[in-house]
Amino acid sequence: MTNTSRRAFLSLTGAAVVGVGLAGCSLIGAGNTADGPAKVNRPLNKSRTLVAYFSMPETDAPNNMSEEEAYSTVVIDGKVLGNTQYVAQLIGARTGAKLFRIETAKKLPLDHGELEDISRAQQGIKARPKLKAVPPNLDAYETVFIGYPIWWYDMPMPIYTFLEQNDFSGKNIILFCTHGSSGLGGTVGTVTKALSDSTVLSNGFEISRDDMDSADRQVRDWLASIT
């Protein structure tokens, strides 16, 4: 499927997820079991569930995108969304969870080359970029989905800031990512180690930038598999 047809397909299907509810999703047991992947073990309280995500679409213009821009975005009803942002919205629509976008205090460039250089430099020095805001009343949530693109086989450095800046003790953490080819990589282990006082679901969600046309179905099936 070409980039153009992928965006057109999503613009037709994306609105269908709005208002869709998912019953029975929440507290989790870490790790895989002899019976299969880890699952949540009691119904999700949507008012106590948060979807926090970091996403960087490389353009805000829906037309005449370069290849790099098209691979980083999804267009819904003429609005440009980052791939991870789109997945976050799908999860939010199906679970009824609230959404929180993780953003840096200093606005990142949309240009692919500039963003690439900044991300590599930050990773090289293990930077912790200052964030624009923290989630309001994080104590009110018992389950937090955390989403990010994979940059250079790792989470973007703003995610490290987010993990270190907030207290996730006793919370249930469910990860999701978008990527070029690496899947979740070692990020589940990284987050599990960083949030040792939390329960991190081992089988998070991952989707390639090449497969965004099937994101709605994949998110639905994944959520069903962990409930």
Domains parsed from the chain with CATH numbers:
3-225 (3.40.50.360)
pLDDT (0 to 100) of residue 7: 45
For 72-90, letters b (16+ CB in 10 Å) and e give bbbbbeeebbbbbbbbbbb
The per-residue pLDDT for 12 is 36
pLDDT at 39: 72
d(C-alpha 83, C-alpha 53), whole Å = 11
The answer to whether the beta carbons of residues 30 and 200 sit under 8 Å apart is yes
Please give the pLDDT value at position 40. 64
pLDDT for position 132: 98
Q: How far apart are CA 47 and CA 166, in angstroms?
A: 19
Strand ranges for 88-142 from DSSP E: 98-101
Specify the pLDDT at position 145.
Answer: 97
pTM of the model: 0.85
Weakly modelled stretches of the chain, pLDDT under 50:
1-35
